Amino acid sequence: MQKRLLFVMTTLRAGGIATSLCNLLQELDKDKKISVDLLLFHPDANDIEDLPLSVNLMAANSLADLIAISQKESWEKGVHLWLTRYLLGGLTKVCGDTLPYKLIFASNRKYSGYDWAISCTQSAPPNSLYGGCNEFVLHNVLSKQKAAFIHCDYVAYGLNNRHNHHIYKRFDRIAVVSQSVKDIFLSAEPGLAGKTTVVRNCHNQKKILTLAGNEPLAYRKDILNIVTVARLSEEKGHFRALEALSVLKNDGHSFLWHIVGGGTRSFENKLKAQIRVLGLEGYVQMYGNQSNPYRYMTNADLLLVPSFHEAAPMVFGEAQLLGLPILTTATVSAVEMVAGSGTGFVCENSTGGLIKGLKGVFENRESLTAVKKRQLFTRRYDNSSALNEFYRLID
């Protein structure tokens, strides 16, 4: 008898959580004892090409769609939906997300007949109208058991509050994406230790290697080519990376920082303005959002992750697969996933830490060669460990 699973997710637009989910579903597609339904708040034909054909795709109603799109995008759907989202967003800022989610999901049908209902992403901070997967699974799905994934630093992300305590204690299982994420979560929620387990991200190794070989960028050999693959937003640390690289430039080091990732126009313009202020026009190249970031990574010398906080970013595993050494700030899983695996370097989570870490790389280029050889020698091509962790979750 097949085990019926329902996954609930906001959208499959570009992002680590969506990529990890698609990779997991690709692995589950090989298991004929599991039947998978996927419910999205915002399904888009352009974003679901990586889903296995066996996955039954469903959509929530138009109100739930508002959670997964921006205010600007809601305008394109009609003035009534734009106004609805505007009012719901204002209500969320004033009194939190509990009432808005109740209003949004009250008109959505109920789903039943599942062995497991799984919320694929964590709650948002309480005054932000984003997320809702936990609330949907709890209120709109009848299943034998329910699980929730956490893909973030629970404390740094602002989730350590009474509201989320009551949310997560109602789930039968909680899946976190690294041991370090688990430790942070349980430091805030020690009473949930018995139901919390690690389920690491799956990677589509074949796809990554194929795309990496598809017209890879040929970089200059006489400089250090640094790449960052991340959306353009404050928590990703682009501005402090610019400050650190400005110091390296003034010290006479030659490099080109390749920034792959998109964001709001205002953030991009601010970043470009800071590049000009620091005199880094010839040292930074921005490529915007790219469907194939791996062609920018494969010939680079260093992956730079200057984030203020991360959980277990997909890009760590992707870089390790491509033999790309990593320099990351000390976010929650950095020591476990990078320093602990010998695939890169971890610096203090500050501008000064980035300066020191980058100087260490420039002054000891041989360390990059050693890391690259180690990565290519030890890299694995299967998701068996991560898949076994997921099976234990739903056992």
pLDDT at 194 over 70: yes
Domain assignment present for residue 390? The answer is: no
Q: What mean pLDDT is reported for the chain?
A: 91
CATH at residue 330: 3.40.50.2000
Q: Which of 2-11, 36-45, 273-282 is predicted with the least confidence, judged by mean pLDDT?
A: 36-45
Residue 80 and residue 142 in one domain? yes
Domain match, 180 and 313 both:
no
Residues 6+ apart with CB under 8 A from 254: 222, 223, 224
Half-sphere exposure of 365 (CA within 13 A, CB side): 11
Identify the pLDDT of residue 14.
65
Q: Are residues 228 and 266 in the same domain?
A: yes
pLDDT in tens, 129-185: 788 999 999 999 999 999 999 999 999 888 999 889 999 999 999 999 999 999 999
The answer to whether residue 392 is domain-embedded is no
Residues 12 and 41 in one domain: yes
DSSP 9-42: EEE-SSSHHHHHHHHHHHHHTT-TTEEEEEEEEE
What CATH number does residue 177 fall under?
3.40.50
Domain final residue, candidates 151, 176, 202: 202
The Cα–Cα gap between 2 and 363 comes to 57
Tell me: the pLDDT tens digits for 55-88?
999 998 888 888 887 788 878 888 888 888 888 7
Residues 157 and 285 in one domain: no
pLDDT at residue 378 in the model: 62
**Residue 238 structural domain:** 205-378
387 in a domain, yes or no? no
- Of the residues 202, 217, 233, the one at which a domain ends: 202
Regarding predicted confidence, which is higher, 313 or 127? 313
Q: Do 297 and 369 share a domain, yes or no?
A: yes
For 332-381, the pLDDT digits (tens) are 999 998 988 888 999 999 999 999 999 999 998 888 888 887 766 566 66
What pLDDT is recorded for position 126? Answer: 74
348 part of a folded domain: yes
Which of 202, 233, 262 is the endpoint of a domain? 202
Q: Are 64 and 44 in contact (CB under 8 A)?
A: no
In a domain, 92, yes or no: yes
Q: Are 88 and 66 in contact (CB under 8 A)?
A: yes
Residues 248 and 177 in one domain: no
User: Within a domain: residue 384?
Assistant: no
Domain shared by 23 and 129, yes or no: yes
| Per-residue confidence (pLDDT) for residue 380, from 0 to 100 | 60
Pairing of strands 302-305, 284-288: unpaired
- What total of structural domains would you count in the chain? 2
**d(Cα 122, Cα 188) in Å, to the nearest integer?**
15
Are 264 and 353 members of one domain? yes
pLDDT tens digits, residue range 199-232?
999 999 999 999 999 999 999 999 999 999 999 9
Give the pLDDT score at 229. 96
Size of the chain in residues? 395
Q: Within this chain, do residues 223 and 88 fall inside the same structural domain, yes or no? A: no
Sorting pLDDT into bands at 50, 70 and 90, what band is 236?
A: very high
- My answer on whether 237 and 366 are in the same domain is yes
Question: Do 322 and 212 touch, CB atoms closer than 8 A?
Answer: yes
**Residue 165 domain-assigned (yes or no):** yes
**Same domain as 218, residue 160:** no
